[in-house]
Amino acid sequence: MLITIEGIDGSGKSTLIKRLENRLSDLNCVFTREPGATWIGKAVRQAIAEETDPISEALLFVADHAMHLKTIVWPALDDGRIVISDRFTDSRFAYQQVTLSGVIDDPGRWLAALHEGWSLTPDLTFLLIIPPARAIERIDREGVLEHFEREEVLAAVQQVYLSRARVEPERFVLIDAEEEMEEIASFVAEEIRRVCGSQEAHRQP
């Protein structure tokens, strides 16, 4: 089972993941993230910092995803583990749709073609929704802003996330990210237990 946590920068994904690590410790989940901790992940972070070319930046995100699948996601799923990822392919569709707009024709189609035939769709995606100005306030408290971390960029990214959620309502669970984190974490943990429990029940003869 593959579960992803998505949302704009500052929406609370990494805080939520930390809470889930505690709340779901008995489920032996694999917690992971994109961009990852490999050398490609480092290259991605360098590309973000340099902000030179959105096409090479997008391709590095895809390379990081391929490495992530090969080294972490597939092995864990093959072992029957629950994988919970802080960002996954929806991040690419949401952010690169915005950064590549006006750079290449139909970025959505280009991104879909790049993932075709080897990637996978999560079983369940929690999407944290927050007014972009609130997200920027939260990030601002932490220091330097990356090039995505501008209100108009995050607003556009969130719109793409929401339009993806409208197309696949059975996969996406929308969360109000301005709620208390304790409440968000207990709701998400319960949902994960419910979905994983019902999958177990399906498996029984």
How many angstroms separate the Cα of 30 from the Cα of each of 2, 76, 97, 164? 10, 7, 29, 25
Could you say whether residue 186 binds ligand ADP (CB under 6 A)? no
Work out whether 46 is an interface residue with ligand TYD (CB under 6 A): no
Pick from 2, 3, 11, 95 the residue near ligand ADP by CB under 6 A.
11
Stretch in the footprint of ligand ADP (CB under 6 A) among 12-20, 44-52, 77-85, 112-120: 12-20
Write the binding mask 17 to 56 for ligand ADP: x where contact by CB under 6 A, - elsewhere.
----------------------------------------
Among 131, 132, 138, residue whose Cα is nearest residue 152: 132
Q: Rounded to an integer, what distance in angstroms lies between the CA atom of residue 155 and that of residue 135?
A: 10
Q: Is 80 annotated as a binding residue?
A: no
CA 138 to chain centre: 18
Q: Does 91 participate in binding ligand TYD (rule CB under 6 A)?
A: yes
Is 198 part of any known ligand binding site? no
Of 146 and 168, nearer to ligand TYD (C-beta) is 146
Q: Which residue is listed with tokens 């998400």?
A: 188
- 87 makes contact with ligand TYD (CB under 6 A): yes
- 43/81 Cα distance (integer angstroms): 29
Binding to ligand ADP in span 115-144, by CB under 6 A: 138, 142
- Residues near 195 by beta carbon (within 8 Å), at least 6 away in sequence: 1, 3, 123, 124
Binding residues for ATP: 7-14
